[in-house]
Amino acid sequence: MASQIAAIRGFQSSLHISQVKDTRMILVTYESSNPQQAADVVNALVENYIEYNFRTKYDASRQATGWMEQRLDELKVKVEKSEQAMVDYERKNDIVSVGDKQTVAEARLAQLNSTLGQAQSDRLSKESVYKMVMANEAQVGFIQTNSLLTGLEAKEVDLKEQFSNVVSQYGPTYPRHCQSKIK
């Protein structure tokens, strides 16, 4: 027994462990006259430490998972009871539900909101046409909301963008630019 204690104390006196400053790393050294023995001791200690850390974290994770599963089961039971209480309340008070817990009044309100949005959009579109007519009464017959006008407006925007790109890329003396000024 005394020889074991002496061996342990001798081992501890040859072993040095320190943390590297400002890191989570540790430095493990072992002094021995046999370099292979020193390397084996350090490698074994580090491997055991890593395994111990892994096991500790694994056990903690397993324990937390077990607790979470238990808590999840409790919450499921609680939700099921709450849902059943809600269904019982709806039946008792003659509350009608449609779809995913939406009452008839809520469905009607959503429909009315949708109709209102469409009506506002139509009004804005017609107001835009009205303003165009008021700005140029001579061309009332031409200003209509048709696909031809929309197509021409889109083409105009596209051509203006192309023209701008040509001028910015080649400068004002580029032949295509000069030709567009002539026409």
**pLDDT band, residue 144 (cuts 50/70/90):** low
pLDDT band at 136 (very low <50, low <70, confident <90, very high): low
Structure tokens at 100: 């995913």
Query: What is the pLDDT averaged over residues 79-99?
Result: 80
Mean pLDDT value across residues 16-34: 92
Residue 28 predicted with pLDDT over 80: yes
- Tens digit of each residue's pLDDT (9 = 90 or more) over 152-168: 666 777 777 777 766 66
Question: How is residue 124 written in tokens?
Answer: 């804005």
- 68-86 b/e with 16+ CB inside 10 Å = b? eeeeeeeeeeeeeeeeeee
d(CA 144, CA 147): 9
Mean residue pLDDT of the chain comes to 79
Contacts of 20 (CB under 8 A, 6+ apart): 26, 27
